[in-house]
Every structure is written in C-alpha cells, then in structure tokens.
Structure 1
Amino acid sequence: MRDAPLDFVTAMAAYGDVTRHDADGGPVYMLNRPDLARYVLKENGANYTKDGTPDDDMLRPLLGNGLLTSSGKEWAAQRKMCAPAFRPSEVEKFDEVITGAAGNLARRWAETPYGQPVRVDHDLTALTLTVIVRAMLGTDIGGIGDGFGRAVDAVNRFIGHYVPNDDPDPADTSVRFAGFHRARGFLDQVTRLIIAARRAGGGDGHDLLTSMLASGHHMSDTDLRDQVLTIIMAGHETTAKALTWTLYLLDRHPEMARDAYAEVDDVLGDRTPVAADLPRLVACRQAIQEAMRLYPPVWLISRRSVEDDVIGGYDVPAGTLVCVSPWVLHRDPRYWQDADAYRPDRFAPERVALHLSHQYLPFGGGPRVCVGQHFAMAEATLVLAVILRRLRLELVEGFPVETEALVTLRPKHGMMMIPRSR
C-alpha cells in the first residue's frame, strides 16, 4: 500500500466486493461496489466518521478543524455557512476572474519559443490557486503567488507520505519535517494577513470570506484560518490535477480532441467564453468528466465506523477503518464498458442517467460530497475552452507519465508539454 497504492487497491478488488487487510495494527475494509459505497457515505453515513482516518491524519496538521476535517454538528454548521457561496448563481459571477486568468496563461504559453515545453501541471496549479483566492476570498495574492504555490506543493508532498517508511532515514525525515513546518508557517502567515486586512477594512465584497464574517457565527481568527486555508487547498489542487490529466488525454486521443476543438470554434468563434456558454460547452465538460473517471483527483475515501455494523454480509466492528476507492470503482468493467479507454461520450446525459448511484465519485458522495463541485466544473470547463481556442498541447516525446497517489492523484514527474498554435 505504501509503495504502490493504486496497484494494491486494484489487486485487492480482485478478491471481491468486500476485502480486508491489516495495516498499522488494525483491520482495513475495502468496499468495491457502488451500493456499498453509497451505504457508508450516505445511507448509514452517520455511523462512519472521518475522525481518526488517514484522510484526517493527512489533512488536519495543515487545515486544522475546517470543513474537510470536522465532523458531526460542527461540520453541519460549517457546511451550512459555506454552501451559499457555492450556489451556481454565485459561482457564475466569477466567470471573468476564471477566463482572465486562463487567458493570461494561454497567452504566456502561446509566446513560448517554438518547441520549448512548459510544465503544465505547475502552471495550472498556479492558475487555479489565483482563481480560488480571488473569487472566494476577494484577494489577489499577486507577487506572493509563486511562493504560495511552492509552499502548497511542499505541504502536499509531505502529508501525502504521512506514513513513515519501515526504516526511515532520520536525517531525511528531519529535513522533510522541517520543510513542512516552514511551508505551513508561510501559508499561515499569508492566510492570517488576509483575514486581518478584511477585519480591519470591513468590506461589502461578494466572496466567501465576507459571507463568513457577516454570517453571525462567532468565529475566532483560528476558526477563520482553518476555513480559509481549507477553501484555498481544496479549491485549487483537485481542479488543477483534473485539467492536467484532461490535456494529457486529449493529446493521446486526437479523435476526441477534435470534438472539443470543433465545439469551441462553433460556440465561441474568436471571443472569450462566459458563464452563459457553459450549457453549450458539452464536449469540453465531458472531456473533463472522463479524465476524472480515469484519474480521479481523490483516489481514496476513508471513514471509521462508530458502532458495530454489517456491510455486504460481513461484520464491521466499531472503530474499523472502511475505505472506498474511486480509482477502483471508476475502472470496474462491470459498470464501465471498455473501462480503461478514454471515451468522453460516456457522460452524454442519456448515458449518465443509466449510471448507478455512487458509481462515479470524483467529488465524493453522500452529504459530504464536495461543496465546491459546481465551482470546480464551471472553472475547469471555462479554462479548458480558453486554452483550446488558441492552443493544442503536445506531450514531450518520451516523457514519462506515471501516476503518484498522494493526497491527490498527480503525475509523478509532472507533465511537460509543448504548446502548439492551432
């Protein structure tokens, strides 16, 4: 599980719909069927908590008690406070923020010397970070953007390896831990400055931080820090990875890319997309949805049972770690024809209507489904349309593309691609 997690969860699924292995002195149940995932995440979700799970262990050191890590009544109150800012009508107000950032990136890529590659995954992470901070917090991080992005990357890499090696090198562990603390300190400082500035200046902006400050909920600076950093982290990392894998897959499947190019040309012509175009950008949206099927940004969801239960005929004692892997469910040939093939038309409305509940979990499932899923899809679709209107991205010949399952599913060696003018 430590050395090759995707191979491990795939191999375990071959043994059945419910499997068990022992890790760190306790049993781990893997659920490899949509109805079982639905049961744990939704139908009996009250019996399955995030407290004490690998998700919690990885994220809490950075995010504190924010929306991703809280539970019970506290989580419900936080969700209620945050949800209004992510309604479709609110999200669509930020289309110019999204397309402006995407246009700047497309322009920079277009001006790259002929044949010179760009680091697509890093550039998209910087883009989505800029968008979420501007749209959700009403702040432009400007000159500190690169430093913020590097700190986020350092933190992700550390918490993605939160389980130590059997025989760790003390020197290496010490260096990585010190790097994590430096990066977390930097993120803390920036986040607290944003909060302090907003408190001092008041403000009537239409963003999540303004909503939280005006919500009537008493929130300490620490509470606000946890929510703000949670929104920043969750609101940019997964979207950047989804876009990275989408551009890679479109390059590997030119026949699918042609559909997206034709759509962009037909819908947009020479203009920049706006939120009103989203219903017509069908091929772009489906290209992203299928990329998230094959490369789900969140590849493992973990819960811990509160009380004894029975799942699929198997006893689940209280305190048992129970996991669902979107990576496994999304590639199960029982539910997906030609499961390993990239076919965006799987997400045509008439086909989606035939999907089983919790068969497709790019944003999780049940009441804790990602509160920002509409924002993420709108942002990713608009960004992709802006890029495809001007460019095609071509993978550097011979460049190794290998998955790395950390907090999110990312390309282990990055994604080096060459921008070509259309």
Structure 2
Amino acid sequence: MPTHTAPRTGVQDPTGPALPPGPPGEVDMAVMRESPLAFITDLARRYGDITRHQADGDTVYLLNRPEYARHVLKDNGANYTKLDTPDDAMLRPLLGNGLLTSNGEDWARQRHLTAPAFRPNAVRTFDGIITDTTRDLLDRWRPAIEAGTPLAVDEQFTALTLRILTHAILGADLGGIGEGFGRAVDAVNRCIGHYVPDPDPDPADTAARYAGFHRARVFLNTVTRTLIAARRAAGAAERPGGNLLDTMMSTDHLVSDEDLRDQVLTIVMAGHETTAKSLSWTCYLLDRHPQELAKVREEVDRVLGGRPPTAADFADLPVCQRAVKEAMRLFPPVWLISRRAVAEDTIGGYHVAPGTLVCVSQWVLHRHPEYWEAAEEYRPDRFADATFPSHLYLPFGGGDRICVGQHFALLEAVLVLATLTQSVRLELVEGFPVEPEALVTLRPKHGMSMIARPR
C-alpha cells in the first residue's frame, strides 16, 4: 500500500461537501514548470489517490487510481471535455481542430473517418514498409557502425517513424526531410510544453521559444500542405489502393482544405513522435538491463532465423512486445491527460464542481505501488499473462478517445526493435546523461546518444 506523509482525509467545507486533500494556497507555477514530474509524484505521495490544488486560477484534481481514471475517461466521459484544458491549450495552436483537439460531433466524425486506416487488419499490411524502412536506416548507419561513432538515436527514430507513418498512412515519403521535421517538432515541444507563470521569470527565453515555435509551425504547415497538394495533383488514377489521405480527399467526405491540414498534421505529429520516443526509451532500458536484452535477442534469433520480421510474427514475439510495453509503463509517451468537468460529479466520495480541471497522470498511475511490484524497476515479464484493472495501464490513453493508432504503434515498435536487434546492439555513450523531460510528450531531455555495435 502507498505510504503517505500527510493526512488523506478531505477538507470539509461547512457550507458544502467534502473536498480532496492537497497543499494550501496557490501552487507556485514556477516550481511546477521546473519539474512537473516531481510535482505530481509528490502530490500523490503526500496526499493520496485523489488530490486537490489551486494553480493559475484553476482548481485541479489529480486522480491516481484506475477506477477514478475509468470514471472520467469512460464511464462518465460525457461529463468531461478536452475543451479549455492544458491539453487543448498546448495542441490547438498547432493542430487546429484535429482529432486530438476536437470535441462532440466534430470528433465523432473525424474518428469515424480515420479509424478504418488503423484497424489491426489494415496495419498488418504495413509490415513491409516498416521493415524495409528500418533496414534502410541501418544501411545509413553503416559508416557509424564501422567507426563506432555515436548516433543521436532519438532523432534517428523520429525520422524513421515519420517516414514509416507518412508512407503507410498517407502514401508519401518524407524521408528526405525527416530530421528537419524532427527538429521542428522539438521546437514546438519546447514552446508549448511549458507552463509560463505570470509574471514570466525569463521573458527573453520565452520570446526565443515562441519565435522558434512560429518558425517550426510555418515549416510544418508547409510540409503538410505540400503533401496534400502533391497527393491531389497525382489524381485518383495514379493512387492504386488508396490510403487515409485519399479517403479524406474523396468527394464522399468533402473535407475542406483547412480540415485536411488539421487532420494530416495531427496524424503525422501524433503518429510518429510517440512511437519514436517509445523506441528510444526501450533501447535505453534494454542496454541498461543486459539480461532483458539477451531474452529479446534469443527470441528474435529463434523465431526469425535471420529473415525480416512480418506482421504474422507479431504473436510469436511476446518478449519483444513485453520489452516495449514495460518501457511505455516507465516512460509513457503521453504522461498526463486533462479534462474539464462540465457538470458536478462525485469521485472517490469527493465533490467535483463544474469547471474543475481533472487530471490523470500515467507517470504516477504506472508507478502506483498498490498495483505494481517494484514499480520503479524495468521488469518486462510483469506483462506475461498479466491481467490489469481497467485503466491502470494507459500508454495510449483510455475510454472512447483511446489512441486510434495504438495497434499500428505497437506493431511498428516491435518490428523495428526486432529488425534492429538482428543487426546491432545499441549502447549508451558512457557518461551520457539520461533524464526524462515532461513536455507535450515525455522525451529524453538531452537526447539519447548511443553507439550501434555490430552483432
């Protein structure tokens, strides 16, 4: 059971219902901004499984049990909106009214349109694209492998997953600009992933980040609109088989140019970066745990016998699957989900007033000591034949808005890991600092510099 250093009893307002425990007064936004992971971890440790604090004029609840997460994300999900949340504020300036930011009928229409492209039977057909693109990456790594030169694998994986996604889902190859796209994503992350207190402690730094954001947004918009224009110019006759972009551009759906831009950029941004980060953390953890790496290598050699993996091999690579899933437990790409209460509610016996900002943190939930033995340790075998409570493990979110691309992301990560494992061992550069940074996604703050050793 968790250990708490402060009482868990709620605050009883003489004029109203009980409120959850939490720190008194307004939270110092500079402290929250400086170390958000430490802040939410300390909240849960001190005050328990449902906490309350005031921040920047908001009343904020942090929910740290799976049944509370399920209540907000699924069972009573209609009462909790993304509108006017930190998620919305961070993403809407870049993504517009795309699948991650839309609500109500707009969201339902977009989900209905995009879901078929990401169903398991559809994503299985992308296996050749995944493995061919990964082998192309290994070919480009060849000089570094032979020389023992460090590689910025986080940037490399960003370019890789971008190329895979755009080829598989949108019918385009952005391989030539993958690294530039990744740098633009980083610039966006640095700007929109930080809370900025009032007054701003460093206006010059904030101005520089916003300038970087605007440059990155122009670049990303240009790439997205060029991709759409090129696909439209090709004409239906030159697009055998079609893909999601073709579907959105078809006369059956009549998606406007602005809607197309929002949807394409949302799919590209959400669909490549989270998988890239998951691969970076997986390779890092396997290097730090050689006994787990040995299990992965044994499975890959035994199952594949040197041939490229296919979607049909996915079920026969459970060790690879568990290696990725456990990395996503410890370092969930999306580390916080926020919703705004529409009407009053009750959670855990505590009153939730309309307008309350309600948050679920995968970073905290995935480490809850009541549910995870040795929660801070990398133990992939915990996913062997395990049954978890609903909404305990949320690397792809939960409820109706669970990530539409979850099947694609997991297949992609496993096939990339298997393909890499056949040829190289990735070793962290000695002394290289590895620290998680909670921006829009959970990324390695200093990157991930590794050496690819030949097998």
Question: Does the pair score TM above 0.5?
Answer: yes
Residues matched between the structures, number: 419
Q: Which deviates more, 203-212 or 257-266?
A: 203-212
Q: Does the 8 Å CA contact 1:110/1:419 hold for their aligned counterparts? A: no
Q: 1:76 to 1:338 in 2, by over 3 A?
A: same
Q: Residue 159 of structure 1: CA displacement? A: 1.1
Identity %: 65
Residue correspondence of structure 1 range 101-112 to structure 2 within 5 A: 101-112=133-144
2:431 matched to 1:398? yes
Q: Does the 8 Å CA contact 2:83/2:103 hold for their aligned counterparts? A: yes
Specify the alignment match of 1:326 in structure 2: 362
Residue correspondence of structure 1 range 28-177 to structure 2 within 5 A: 28-112=60-144, 113-164=146-197, 166-177=199-210
Question: Of 407, 413, 419, which aligns to 1:380?
Answer: 413
* Alignment-mate amino acid for residue 324 of structure 1: V
2:42 matched to 1:11? yes
Q: Which deviates more, 178-187 or 103-112?
A: 103-112
Q: 1:195 to 1:78 in 2, by over 3 A?
A: same
Question: Of 417, 442, 448, which aligns to 1:409?
Answer: 442
Q: Residue 117 of structure 1: CA displacement? A: 1.1
Q: Residue 418 of structure 1: CA displacement? A: 1.0
Q: Does the 8 Å CA contact 1:110/1:420 hold for their aligned counterparts? A: no
Residue correspondence of structure 1 range 111-260 to structure 2 within 5 A: 111-112=143-144, 113-164=146-197, 166-203=199-236, 204=239, 205-214=241-250, 216-260=252-296
Q: 1:133 to 1:22 in 2, by over 3 A?
A: same
SS of corresponding position for 1:111: helix
CA distance in 1, matches of 2:195, 2:61: 20
* Alignment-mate amino acid for residue 321 of structure 2: R
Which ranges of 4 or more aligned residues in structure 1 deviate by more than 4 Å? none
2:56 matched to 1:24? yes
CA distance in 1, matches of 2:189, 2:164: 19
CA distance in 2, matches of 1:109, 1:250: 20
* Alignment-mate amino acid for residue 61 of structure 1: P
Q: Residue 174 of structure 1: CA displacement? A: 2.3
* Alignment-mate amino acid for residue 216 of structure 2: A
Deviations 1:39-75 (A, max 9, x none): 0000000000000010000000000000000011110
CA distance in 1, matches of 2:136, 2:61: 46
SS of corresponding position for 1:131: helix
Q: Which deviates more, 317-326 or 142-151?
A: 142-151
Question: Of 331, 335, 359, which aligns to 1:299?
Answer: 335
Residue correspondence of structure 1 range 329-368 to structure 2 within 5 A: 329-348=365-384, 350-351=385-386, 353=387, 355-368=388-401
Q: 1:215 to 1:343 in 2, by over 3 A?
A: farther
Q: Does the 8 Å CA contact 2:160/2:178 hold for their aligned counterparts? A: no
Q: 1:6 to 1:384 in 2, by over 3 A?
A: same
Q: Residue 162 of structure 1: CA displacement? A: 4.7
2:39 matched to 1:2? no
Root-mean-square deviation (Å):
1.3
Q: Which deviates more, 13-22 or 57-66?
A: 13-22
CA distance in 2, matches of 1:206, 1:277: 26
CA distance in 2, matches of 1:413, 1:96: 32
Q: Does the 8 Å CA contact 1:391/1:421 hold for their aligned counterparts? A: yes
CA distance in 2, matches of 1:220, 1:229: 14
Q: Does the 8 Å CA contact 1:81/1:215 hold for their aligned counterparts? A: no
CA distance in 1, matches of 2:242, 2:321: 26
SS of corresponding position for 2:339: strand
What is the TM-score of this pair, normalised by structure 1?
Answer: 0.97
Q: Which runs of 5+ in 1 are unaligned?
A: none
SS of corresponding position for 1:2: helix
Higher relative CO (Cα under 8 Å, sequence separation at least 6) belongs to 1
SS of corresponding position for 1:382: helix
Q: Residue 175 of structure 1: CA displacement? A: 2.3
Q: Residue 201 of structure 1: CA displacement? A: 2.5
Q: Which runs of 5+ in 2 are unaligned?
A: 1-31
SS of corresponding position for 2:422: helix
Q: Does the 8 Å CA contact 1:85/1:211 hold for their aligned counterparts? A: no
* Alignment-mate amino acid for residue 275 of structure 2: T
Q: Residue 5 of structure 1: CA displacement? A: 0.7
Larger Rg: 2
Q: Does the 8 Å CA contact 1:264/1:281 hold for their aligned counterparts? A: yes
Q: Does the 8 Å CA contact 1:58/1:162 hold for their aligned counterparts? A: no
CA distance in 1, matches of 2:353, 2:174: 47
Q: Does the 8 Å CA contact 1:118/1:419 hold for their aligned counterparts? A: yes
CA distance in 1, matches of 2:136, 2:272: 17
Q: Which deviates more, 97-106 or 158-167?
A: 158-167
Deviations 1:296-344 (A, max 9, x none): 1100000000111111111111111000001111111100111111111
